[in-house]
Every structure is written in C-alpha cells, then in structure tokens.
Amino acid sequence: MHVYLVGGAVRDQLLGHSYHEKDYVVVGATPQQLLDQGFTPVGKDFPVFLHPKTKEEYALARTERKSGTGYHGFNFFTAPEVSLEDDLIRRDLTINAMAMDDAGNVYDPYGGQDDLNNRILRHVSEAFVEDPLRVLRVARFAARYKKYGFQIADETLQLMQRISVSGELECLTAERVWKETSRALMEEHADVYFQVLRDCDALKVLFPEIDALFGVPQRPEYHPEIDCGIHTLMSLRQACKANYSLDVRYAVLVHDLGKALTPKEMLPRHIMHEERGIPPVEALSDRLKVSTQTKQLALAVCKEHLKCHQAMSLKPGTLWRLLQRLDVLRRPERVEAFIQACECDARGRLGLENRPYPQASFLYEAIQVVRSIKAQDLPADIKGPEIGEMLIQYRIDALASLKQRHERSEHSS
C-alpha cells in the first residue's frame, strides 16, 4: 500500500501558493485494509475515508467511466491493481494531476510541472469533456491564478466550448453552480471567471442575464467603456480590489441587469433600468438558490444605486426614506454593504477607477446621525404615536444639518 498527496496541495506547494486542504490517494489497498487501520468511510460514490487522527480525506485509487449525463454520470472502479497513473489521468488539469510521496518526490506523468512553470491551464486527456463541472472549475482556476500569469491552453478552451454547446451544462445542479461561482467571486480576479465563461460560450447558458449585457451600449460621457458587460466586470474588479464580502460582490455583478432590457429605441440611455432589473435579479438569485441575505442586498443595490450616487443632492426627507428602506435602524451593516457596492459601480468605469466618491463618507455619517437619535432624546410630554412621528422628524432635521455641514465644507474647500 502506497499513500500519495495529490491535487491542489501538490500544485500550490510547487507554486508557492497557500493551501489549507490536503487530499491523499491510496494505491494498492482495499477498503477493508483502511477500515482495519481505523479509517472512517465517508464516500457514497467511491471509497473515501477519513484519517482517524487528522480527519483528512484518503481515497482509494480509481478509474471511472462515463455512464450518464452531468457530473454524477460516472461509474467508478477501485481495486489494488489500479495504478497511480490510472488515477491521475482522470483528473481535470495537468497541474492537478501530480502526486507527492512522504519523501517529497513528485510524480508527474502528464507534464503538470512544465505547465505550472509555463503558466498554462491544460486538460489531461480527452476525458475532460465528460464532466461539465470542469468548465466552471477551469474558469475558477483562471481567476485564482491570474496574478501568476496563467492562461488557458487553446485546445482546452475548445473542449470547454464543446461542453458548453453539448447541453451538459444544463445537468449541473444550482447548488453546484453557485458553489463554484461563489468561490470564484471571492478570488482576487473574480471578473476573469465570468470572462472565461463568456469566451467558451458557457455564460449564455448558465448566466444569460449577465451575458445579455455584453454589446449593450451606454452613454460615453458617463461610461467611457461604453459596453454594459465590460462595465459590470470593471465594477466587480473594484469590489475584489477592496476585498469586499461575497454579498457585495454578487450585488455588484447583478446591479445593472436591467440595462439588457432597455428598449433599443432608447439606447444608449437607460431610463428606468433599476426597475427593469428587479425581475432578472430575482430570477437569477432564485435559480442559483443564493441566500436570502445575498439576494436582498442585490435587489436593494439594483433598485437604489442611482439614489446612492445622488445622495448628497437628495432632500433630507428623501434621504431618510432611502435609509429606512435599507433598514438602517436594524441592519446598519446592510446599508454599509449597499454603499460599498454602489461605490464599485461608480468606479467601475474606464479612466474613473480612482475617482473620489464622497457619497460614501456622507452616507456613513448619515447612518450614524439617524441611529444616534433615540426616543429618550424627545421631549418628555410626547406620548403614543407622536413619538414615532417626532423621531422621524428629528432624524430628517439631523440629516438636513448634516447636508448643510457638507455643503459649507465643500464651499470652503
């Protein structure tokens, strides 16, 4: 029996990239041998075991054969005679098809180290096309390793295109698509994930609402990049640069979906695109089964982002109603996430990436101002329904004072 470290841990160790999970493959063993050593079985489709002490995963070397559709459509075969090379050839990319023994010796039958050194994401074999999930995984790897200069091999991109047009992507469950996408969104270059999916024709299959933005023009005086799809990816890049949360990144991704629905005769103007965007944001969020919290922020940003940009010119009462809709008194963190997403939208424009966004600091102050006013601040003789009415008026007056201070500061500077 021989045990090898495999997959991402080997890849990232050789690359000098941090990693947390370790996976092992066991060659020349039977399930009973692992059970006898205290391993706990956890695999449903093929024998995977947890180490009795470390709880790391150990899988028996296996081969697999396509037997149906989707990424579940495989039959697996495990036996002591299955070799390390047999196991590795079924993996997706050459850089993921390497193994390492306890002595640090690397086993690389399919050229993974060369591709690692040359910064190439390349499939191991033609079996790549049998698993549609690999389209998303390769796109995610492209996003993760963009900072190292990795590119997808042309022949691998062609295989991804074959999968995209085969109908196999429709077999992926919503949960699996969101799992890969949410992980990709948290990468430093999340925009690359969506660009790769578009390059291999998968975006229009899995995310048609986003794909529809590409080629839709905007007014160049406001959007020098012109294309709505490019603006979306530029905005997402800003969210990654600021290391914002998953909820913010998703909200930025979908904030302009309504622009794909603008009547052609209105282009390049996008009047009412905020309202038009609500149905596609709801449809995409429901299809992906994103969390309620993630969906709510996305809907708020879609519907209200223009008001965030206009915050400093809004009347105090209008500003209060905006903050109230965002649930400022109970969920100030949601308002902060809303501001972050809107700032990414404002800076996701060609040549305006570093433009000041004073609306952010103004709104952060507005949050503190309205939350600082409590019922005990009111006159003692105010009772019943009058309390709520006067609290609102106090908060609106406080916002008016805040606005005046900002205006005086602008004039003096």
How would DSSP label each residue in 142-153? HHHTGGGT-EE-
Tell me what pLDDT residue 385 has.
Answer: 74
Q: 407 a known binding residue?
A: no
- How far lies 247's CA from each of 13, 55, 196, 351, in Å? 30, 31, 22, 26
- E-assigned strand segments in 131-254: 151-152
Q: For the stretch 122-157, what's the b/e string if a residue is b when 16 or more beta carbons lie within 10 angstroms of its beta carbon? A: bbbeebbbbbbbbbbbbbbbbbbbbeeebebbeebb
Instruction: Single out the residue of 227, 242, 162, 166 nearest to residue 195, CA to CA.
Output: 227
* pLDDT for res 57: 92
Strand partners, 48: 59
Is 137 annotated as contributing to ligand binding? yes
Q: What is the pLDDT of residue 71?
A: 52
Which DSSP category does 39 fall into? -
Quote the tokens at residue 40.
């706990």
Do residues 322 and 303 lie in contact, with contact meaning Cβ atoms separated by under 8 Å? no
258 is known to lie in a ligand binding site: no
Identify the bridge partners of residue 62 per DSSP, sorted by sequence position: 78
Spell out the per-residue pLDDT of the chain, length 413, in tens: 899 999 899 999 999 988 888 999 999 999 999 999 999 998 776 789 999 999 999 999 988 775 555 555 556 778 888 999 999 998 999 999 999 999 999 999 999 999 999 999 999 999 999 999 999 999 999 999 999 999 999 999 999 999 999 999 999 999 999 999 999 999 999 999 999 999 999 999 999 999 999 999 999 999 999 999 999 999 999 999 999 999 999 999 999 999 999 999 999 999 999 999 999 999 999 999 999 999 999 999 999 999 999 999 999 999 999 999 999 999 999 999 999 999 999 999 999 999 999 999 999 999 999 999 887 777 766 777 777 788 899 999 999 999 999 988 877 76
- Helix 190-199 to helix 174-185 angle (10° resolution) is 130
To the question of whether residue 325 is assigned a binding role by annotation, the answer is: no
Q: Residue 23 pairs with which residues in a beta bridge?
A: 6, 57
User: What does the pLDDT read at residue 72?
Assistant: 55
- 330 marked as part of a ligand binding site: no
Q: Which of 351, 366, 348, 356 is nearest to 311 (CA)?
A: 366
Backbone phi, then psi, for 29, in 5-degree steps? -130, 165
User: What are the helix (H) ranges across 102-153?
Assistant: 112-117, 133-144
Q: What is residue 64's predicted lDDT score, i.e. its pLDDT?
A: 73
Task: Round to whole Å and give the CA distance between 285 and 266.
Answer: 27
How far is Cα 266 from Cα 259, in angstroms, rounded to an integer? 11
Supply the Cα-derived Rg of the chain in whole angstroms.
26
* Structure tokens given for 209: 């609402």
What amino acid is encoded at 111 in this protein? G
Question: Shortest CA distance to 248 belongs to which of 293, 193, 194?
Answer: 293
Size of the chain in residues: 413
What is the predicted pLDDT for the residue at 21?
A: 87
User: Can you say whether residue 7 is alpha, beta or left, with left for phi > 0 and alpha for psi between -120 and 50 degrees?
Assistant: left
- Tell me the HSE value of 281 on the side-chain side, using a 13 A CA sphere: 27
Pairing of strands 99-100, 2-6: antiparallel
The Cα 207–Cα 281 span in angstroms is 11
Structure confidence at residue 68 (pLDDT): 56
Nearest CA to 20 out of 29, 11, 9 is that of 9
The answer to whether 227 is a known ligand-binding residue is no
Residues 210, 236: Cα–Cα separation, whole Å:
12
pLDDT of residue 408: 86
Confidence (pLDDT) at 390 = 86
CA distance 252 to 248: 6
